[in-house]
Amino acid sequence: MTATAEPKVPGQVRSDLHWAMSDSAVLIGRNVRHVLRSPEQLMLMLFLPIVLLLMFRYLFGGAIDVGATTYVNYVLPGIIAVSITFNATQTSVGVAGDMLEGIVERFRTMPMLSSAVLVGHVAACVFRTAVSIAVMVGVGFVIGFRPAADVLGWVVAVGLLLLFATAVSWVAAIVGMLAKTVEGASGMTMPLVFIPYLSSAFVPPDTMPDVLRVFAENQPVTLVIDTVRGLFLGLPVGDTGWIAMLWWVGLIVVAVPLSGKLFRRKVIRTRT
């Protein structure tokens, strides 16, 4: 399957922004269709997070003390964070595949914005994340998740999770461009997958050894999880939400131009 950009009609004056958005929309559609037609991506998007949620809820939940709330209320934001990093591995693999299998060269022969390839992969990851969040919250309700958030709390919590997914996806895109093989891209994103495990995702950090506790309490994924957990439960989050947002907005500000620079360098090197 190939993606075809909107033809530029002679004499039709449209801005560069219009064409950039049009080209990106085509590539986003391409990658979303890949998601819907790929059993592997559907498994990472739906099956694996649900299995993790059920496993932690029923195998470990009774042995872990999380204070005044139930364990399913505590762990659901952490499982969502893990699912986001799992989804990002597909971004890395997809970018590596496009870079190594020649499709980018095909796109360069068309009157289109070539960097829309990266936008398409990142947007597809955000789409996977949105679907995964909806499914996991639905499963959570079935197994005892009882949030106390109002509408604004839900909007802010989901918005922060999608911001987190966007930032992680851009990092994964960079990894995909640096990888020498598609399989290598999958392996190189494993550190992203394990970072949420070293956080407050599954157990309170104050139960950890001192060094690990300090890291878990101050790393940016914990800020996201704690903020989302507080918003879901209707608890005050203080400055944690703003700090989390600054972390991930800052990462996007760095990662987007860096990925564009790497993309252009990679394409030029491939052509020569």
Per-residue pLDDT of the chain (272 residues; tens, 9 = 90+): 444 445 554 444 455 555 556 666 766 676 667 666 666 666 767 788 888 899 988 888 777 888 788 999 999 999 999 999 988 888 888 888 877 776 666 666 555 566 677 888 888 888 888 988 999 999 999 999 999 999 999 999 999 999 999 999 999 999 988 888 888 888 888 888 889 999 999 999 988 999 999 999 989 999 999 999 999 999 888 889 999 999 999 999 999 999 888 887 776 655 55
Q: Is residue 266 part of a domain?
A: yes
3-state helix, strand, coil in the chain (%, to 5): 80, 0, 20
- Token pair, residue 103, equals 């499709």
Q: Is residue 188 part of a domain?
A: yes
User: Which amino acid is residue 225, in one-letter code?
Assistant: I
The residue segments making up the domain with residue 88 are 19-25+32-271
Q: Is residue 87 part of a domain?
A: yes
Give the pTM: 0.84
- Token pair, residue 7, equals 């033809």
Q: Is residue 230 part of a domain?
A: yes
**CA separation for the pair 192, 169 (Å, rounded):** 10
Q: Is residue 12 part of a domain?
A: no
Task: Count structural domains, the chain.
Answer: 1
From the list 30, 35, 36, 29, the residue with the least C-alpha distance to 1 is 30
Q: Is residue 9 part of a domain?
A: no
On whether the CB atoms of residues 31 and 123 are closer than 8 A, the answer is yes
Q: Is residue 107 part of a domain?
A: yes
